[in-house]
A and B are shown apart, each in its own frame.
Chain A
């Protein structure tokens, strides 16, 4: 049995071993995956594998086992490769079989040649995905995921050292020294402490970031969100690639390939284009995109890949397993205090408005759970109107949401932004790739649209398209990607929260008008103190709460169905104007999330009444608002 270091550091030796043993039959491939699956099942073994999200590429040993959590941004064409090939030594005529799987380059010894004509050659197929780190991933997700990362480094020279600082936005660090500190405490409290002084890494990271954009020719790594950092990666998938879709979040375990030969081959090809007509199939742009330098875009040859339901590191990755069930039931038992605390916290954040806080919780646990023909069910877009204009309020609301959900993005709806940014991903046929846009987000990302920033002005064509796309996203939970000759519909599942002064120009499921109870003299200070005040362990509970409840099932009993029916009929009888089908829709949604937020998976009569009550309160507020300001709405 090879020791740990072997399968981590030199997975090829393992593969070679298995290959040599089973060579005539093709089931060696299965055995390899089986072997690694078993290995990774061992306790904490996954933590031993260095993560490409965390460790810069140049710290990682080539051809070692790495993991990468990413979103599939684009899918390239499948490629044919030599699955098995034979080398021959021209002097001795000795023939040796090799495997080409998990490799970019068919290797052979110094005195050997590849026999391209061998009857042993097996051509196989693999698929390449262009993957980027999950867009809008919150800083805390990174910290917690990789805090538990083993620094028990298997290799000596390539220490996968912690490197979390580098991915955080610098301003973040500047603005929130307290938050940062407390987060470290948080991770220290929850997971066996590994609060490491990060001076060492900050130097390295700073250097890394300065160098990478400047030294290399500017290569657009195609991140959906502007200002994102982190490695993009070409992920080569060998099995069941049909099951993966664009925008899926994956965790892959595979062999890192950063062979400089890849880049050499490229440049040679480029030089040779003029001579060899075979090579001019691809334009220079396409070359750049499809085989970028390995130092910038490393390759991972996937041994194991799994789709992730969520990216919250505080939750077990898969909720169906036995041990995670106990985790769930433990957490459910203490659910109501967590909810109360969260409600309190959000009430403070929303300047003392508990109704808005209640709706915000419902919004944060909403998710599209099904689609009925074109209608997405379970989306709950909230329009928080009455936000103070041009204040830092909305920014801080976003900060707080960012602290609670694993992935989020704040979209500032300024004329400038709408006219100039790329919302809809479109296909660039010259480079043959899907150029990403802001709306290419993974499932369950929170999108906070800040409409308070919007001024009067002229939207140009792009702007109109962007606003339409945003509207479509909210109403149908789909984005029509632009393939220039046609459009293609990609369903999505994004929680949209709109903050605005009056009613938003975007459609929404539910408008809540904010009624601040307290106006803090210094908003900045108030919000900061709010975040400092909450204990890290409590914050973590909030995070678990929001991610977990999203994944629960829900049903309505016949009894309650009947009661709801009666209720509806009754209300309509008294005043047909009072409740329409739309209102019923919304009330049912509110009831659903209200039940779930209390940890109940069926609707009870009380919850139904409470949902109605909430709706009544909300509507009364809107009515009131209309009276106060006749022009509004």
Chain B
């Protein structure tokens, strides 16, 4: 079969085989007006711009005679089938009896072709023989004589070979690298698209999505043709797909014939790079939907009826116009044809504005927008706010000629006819979206990153690249660096423990003006999914999610807050201490379970919030009081504090060497030129890529030695405390250690957590503990400050004081009542350390609990 047949004789022959579907191409070929369409390579766009032919197209002829074959194209919407189906037409290929009996079997014969407005009005693809440059009239002749040299006018597409190649692709293509999420349920070793066709047969959705990348790896030339001449090649693909499908599943019932929807064309990714060369080509761009119009019914075929003789005719849309027949073919009355609206055919259409995604935009410019036209099924598939990848044909249309002036506005209007949508964030709320998460890394980039990872001092390098304008605080930067990398995600759902937290939470506290906010800002700017909130300004609702009624649709919509939005990212919370109690309580769930439960306004759900939290808090007394513990200084509940893996104090160190280095650093900041700075430090972009790469590709697991080292470390930590009768480590600390060690392994791009990772994790953890969990009274690191809010020594002191008081009272002999003030003074005189009133009262309370005494007003009675 060289091409869709255009002569009745050939057609009849095919009917015998019963395999060739009557595509609209048949009718188009015959209908296409001679020598109208000319394509030039430099400006393909203008090919479509020519004015309408003045004479009505050949297809508008009388339906009687053999021409009827061509003039009644079988493009019916399914709803119209029973009404308009022309049983007598040979085009249906079905025997009248089979239809009359009403058996549902249809196959290729019964399945109507649905128009593809997305491919535009250029349904007049003519074929020409490459060798005979002859006039178009003898197309039919050439077609019959040669078969192979035929190409569609203006292109190098040979329909037959194109179809054949595509069929081969469908039948044979096996994706060697298949791992896309949509492959679930597919046998990877079987031809991929045959399975898809089977799916179509079962599900009944007559659309075949074809990944252009697959096509390219299969047949480069076919791919090129698809990109360059989509509006000729895609119908050919349709044809090929239908042939195969109905060959295999002749009994299948579909709404209409299968339409092929290519996606993922590599032509263009970015809206900004669209240029005049892309006109009429297949492109894929990404962006965000910002506006969608109402549904527009677009007339596909007009139905005209003669007012005089009731003769009817149909006229197809051509380049957006319907040419009204001026003369009735039947009775030759002029201007007697009237449009019958409800017998004309319409298709759905929608205008959508797509805006460049923020990541694609160069700094300092405003985003570009582009208009999309969606047709039929694709109408209302996307909502404003959706991030989509759109595959379609780029079009340029001249702005209409002003009829009164011969001048034309010299500007074209551009739009994209959508063929395929792919939402990029539809799964945002449900799971890790690999597609967007895995940034595209070029080979070279990966090479550079790997090279970097081999450097011995990569850890130090990266940490110094982090916020270079902030001076020193090496350990804090290292901590944040590990936080950026995160631990490995572990899933223990089957053992009933659910997901283990992989994210590392960090709290920075310290004097105001120690550039905590600056660090937070930096991190927020660095990570792709960072959120920045201030404790003062956020409410629980703003952090979590709230339910809103959409004013237009009256639909309940879940609006997500900062924590959910930073899923897989980092949520920076400034002024953590100023956050009110109820807001903070939301964080409890997020910081350990990594989920967020919502129950409001009829929506009950659990959202993922696998976010790391980087918080900054100021001390209550505006200045850090070194005589108090961390808890006392920042007044945060210890339940929350214990959920932070690392708590750092950012204090102003007071030593000369530090001051000197700080001064030098600051001075250099004030005169170095921008270029110098860039040389000195690693680029922010490299750092960002490095982290993104490690996060998505490196998943370290604990090695044997490392786990031993971790066990030892944990046992050691517990031992330290046990000697003094207190516990200095809890399982939470062990988990922290594991996470830190994993993150450190990730920094090295290592798949194994080794002892050095554990060493560093231990060091950092100890460092942070030293800063935040040191008991100011004893100078000993005491984890219970963080876990119970009171150090073990403090507890011990309290007990001792109570004992001392008891002794004091007992030494006074048998007095039933004591004066409160007197007792307090005596105790103070006796004790060698300062005793505050609070301490005294606490001791009294402790004794009262022991039923030793009661306090009534200003007297203390013994029992």
Contact = CB atoms under 8 A, between A and B. Distances in A.
Interface in B704-736: none
Contacts of B363: 245, 489, 491
Contacts of B290: 429, 485
Query: 5 closest A-B pairs (Cβ-Cβ)?
Result: A245-B364, A106-B410, A372-B469, A116-B49, A568-B663
Interface stretch (B37-45, B93-101, B337-345): B37-45
Interface stretch (A41-49, A183-191, A264-272, A331-339): A264-272
B492 interface: no
Given A372-B469, A488-B361, A117 B385 contact: no
A247 to B, nearest CB: 8
A77 B368 contact: yes
A588 B666 contact: yes
11 contacts: A75-B366, A80-B414, A105-B408, A122-B43, A280-B293, A370-B672, A488-B367, A565-B660, A568-B659, A576-B652, A588-B670
A81 interface: yes
Nearest to B362: A242
A105 B408 CA distance: 6
Given A279-B400, A581-B471, A430 B288 contact: no
B367 A483 contact: yes
Contacts of B370: 77
A573 interface: yes
Interface stretch (A53-61, A107-115, A513-521, A540-548): A107-115
A122 B351 contact: no
A246 B406 contact: no
A81 B410 CA distance: 5
Nearest to A492: B364
> Contact size class for B?
35 or more
A581 B518 CA distance: 14
A572 B654 contact: yes
B684 interface: yes
Interface string B529-552: 000000001000000000000000
A81 B397 CA distance: 10
Considering residues B351, B402, B666, B670, which has the most beta carbons from chain A within 10 angstroms of its beta carbon? B670
B606 to A, nearest CB: 25
A373 B469 contact: yes
A589 interface: yes
B415 interface: yes
B812 interface: no
Interface stretch (A202-210, A523-531, A554-562): A554-562
B518 A100 contact: no
A601 B413 CA distance: 53
Contacts of A34: none
Nearest to B291: A429
A434 B366 CA distance: 8
Given A265-B399, A488-B358, A106 B409 contact: yes
A506 interface: no
B521 A374 contact: yes
B667 interface: yes
A125 B652 contact: no
Given A105-B407, A372-B468, A564 B413 contact: no
Contacts of A268: 400, 402
Contact of B660 (A107, A261, A279, A569): A569
B555 interface: no
Interface string B352-379: 0100001001111111111100000000
B513 interface: yes
Interface in A478-511: 483, 485-486, 488-491
A82 B411 CA distance: 7
Contacts of B537: 464, 468
Interface string A66-87: 0000000011011111100100
A580 interface: yes
A103 interface: yes
Contacts of B513: 580-582
Given A79-B412, A373-B684, A581-B666, A277 B296 contact: yes
A432 B279 CA distance: 23
Contacts of A576: 652, 654
Contact of B410 (A103, A125, A486): A103
A164 interface: no
A628 interface: no
Contacts of A476: 521
A565 B525 contact: no
A584 interface: yes
B663 A261 contact: no
A269 B290 CA distance: 23
Nearest to A592: B670
B518 A277 contact: no
Contact of B412 (A81, A279, A485, A565): A81
Most buried by B among A483, A567, A592: A483
B663 A565 contact: yes
A278 interface: yes
A201 interface: no
A124 interface: yes
B412 A78 contact: no
Interface string A261-291: 1101100110010001111111000000000
A5 to B, nearest CB: 26
A125 B276 CA distance: 7
B104 interface: no
Interface in B723-778: none
A75 B410 contact: no
B662 A584 contact: yes
Contacts of B660: 565, 568-569
Contacts of A106: 407-410
Contact of A119 (B40, B320, B400, B674): B40
A358 to B, nearest CB: 19
B358 A486 contact: yes
Contacts of A281: 351, 371, 413, 415
Nearest to A378: B670
A624 interface: no
Interface in A224-270: 242, 245-248, 261-262, 264-265, 268-269
Contacts of B369: 77, 432
B522 interface: yes
A118 interface: yes
Given A123-B396, A280-B296, A564 B667 contact: yes
A448 B338 CA distance: 69
Interface in A80-102: 80-82, 85, 100
A104 interface: yes
B673 interface: yes
A123 B412 contact: yes
Contacts of A122: 42-43
A276 B320 contact: yes
Contacts of A264: 402, 405
Nearest to B471: A581
A420 interface: no
A278 B413 contact: yes
A113 B659 CA distance: 79
A374 B361 CA distance: 19
Given A117-B49, A370-B677, A572 B276 contact: no
A304 interface: no
B787 to A, nearest CB: 33
B666 A585 contact: yes
B669 interface: yes
B51 interface: yes
A375 interface: yes
A370 B400 contact: no
Q: Which residue among B274, B351, B410, B513 has the maximum number of chain A CB atoms within 10 Å of its CB? A: B410
Contact of B46 (A117, A377, A483): A117
Nearest to A268: B402
B610 to A, nearest CB: 21
